[in-house]
Amino acid sequence: MKTQEIIELGQKYVMNTYGRLPMALVKGEGAFVWDAEGNKYLDFVAGLAVNSLGHCHPKVVEAIREQAETLMHVSNLYWIEPQVKLAKLLVENSALDKVFFCNSGAEANEGAIKLARKYAKKYLGPDKYEIITMEKSFHGRTLAAITATAQPKYQKDLDPLPPGFKYVPFNDFAALEKAISPNTCAIMMEPVQGEGGVNVADYDYMQQVKQLCLEKNLLLIFDEVQCGLGRTGKLFAYEHYNVEPNIMTLAKAIAGGFPMGALLATDKVAECFQPGDHASTFGGNPLAAAAGCAAVSILADKDFLVEVAEKGAYFEQKLHRLKDKYSFITDVRGKGLILGLGITVDGKSIVDGCLQKGLIINCVGSNVLRFIPPLIITKQNIDDAVNIIDEVMSGLSFNEVEL
């Protein structure tokens, strides 16, 4: 099928919930994808940080193929060998003790919210249920997760929203401290806000947040759905801060492109979930878990993470050179290979221009170009991407860059 045929069929049968670009991607390999007409693109969106090992990584493909020929699905009424192995990998490489598997980041965050409230009822008191989250956060599209997401645009027309959430500005400790109430049981945040504009938590702020949680007996929940699993140059973003969460959520990169999510917690918190308290029919099934074992084994490799950090620093340096060249670039932000360019122009013209030249990027909000490429990209890939961005920016008209 050609692109137009796919689009027409989709418009007829698929719900209109996405502002899709007029293209259909049909093949991927490494850092590249191809559309239905055979055009090749360098992919610096990577399935929204899902394809951290690139498209169709051989080890992930082989793990899926072998498992698909053996056992694809059984329920969690039974022990599942690949699931147990993946849980061991995650626990041994993190500061958490137990894992619950699900299918997405939103599911993982729903589980985190439930677990925090179960813990609060058991250890903190019957009136402890409130969770404080950060402005510009993004925690998922389910009803509780979208309520935790402190962005009104995502909550429009969904009233009434579940009670028990409070929002404060990111990186503003005074506002956070002031927001604590007798009902507060947890603070939930992304160490690096991806959808919110690639906003990075300050080191001192994170130290203060952890100390506040200790003083007030609050749970600290880190949403590392987008920024975790090697994206920042460390396996988990919290490792940059010398701060350990009580609960952490993962998804996106965890299974190399296969849908999966995970909720991790310390032993004391995890034991608040007992049989019947939480479940997921497909969560951690043999096929997803086998893919996860293959992906996490690579992502957790120390040498691999060193390379990610080096490539992130190289890319950041290149972006700073663009900032020095163009007055409409306000700042370079991010860690590792989750990077952003703040701009004073609507980013759509730049995104569209890059696409025409064979580079896929995206814009969060309207004024932050976000780069979340596969972690397996080369420095040559980075050079090629920056050269395309430079070409597009140099061709912008005065009206396009005007505030």
Binding-site members are 105-106, 138, 141, 223-226, 280-281
Is residue 223 among the annotated active site residues? Answer: yes
| Candidates 210, 223, 318, 328; catalytic one | 223
Query: Which spans in 102-142 are helix H?
Result: 105-119
Is residue 216 among the annotated active site residues? Answer: no
The rounded distance, in Å, linking the Cα atoms of 33 and 19 is: 20
User: Would you say 300 and 93 are in contact if contact means Cβ atoms under 8 Å apart?
Assistant: yes
Which residues make Cβ contacts (< 8 Å) with residue 398, sequence separation at least 6? none
| Candidates 128, 136, 210, 252; catalytic one | 252
- Give the total residue count for the chain: 403
- Binding-site positions for N(2)-acetyl-L-ornithine read 141, 280
Letter string b/e over residues 121-159, b meaning 16 or more CB atoms within 10 A of that residue's CB: eeebeeebbbbbbbbbbbbbebebbbbbbbbeebeeeee
Structure tokens at 141: 């599209």
**CB burial of residue 98 (10 Å; 0-12, 13-18, 19+):** middle
Is residue 252 among the annotated active site residues? Answer: yes
- Binding-site positions for pyridoxal 5'-phosphate read 105-106, 138, 223-226, 281
User: Would you say 42 and 48 are in contact if contact means Cβ atoms under 8 Å apart?
Assistant: no
Which residues make Cβ contacts (< 8 Å) with residue 394, sequence separation at least 6? none
| Candidates 44, 100, 101, 138; catalytic one | 138
The rounded distance, in Å, linking the Cα atoms of 101 and 66 is: 21
Active-site annotation, residues = 138, 223, 252
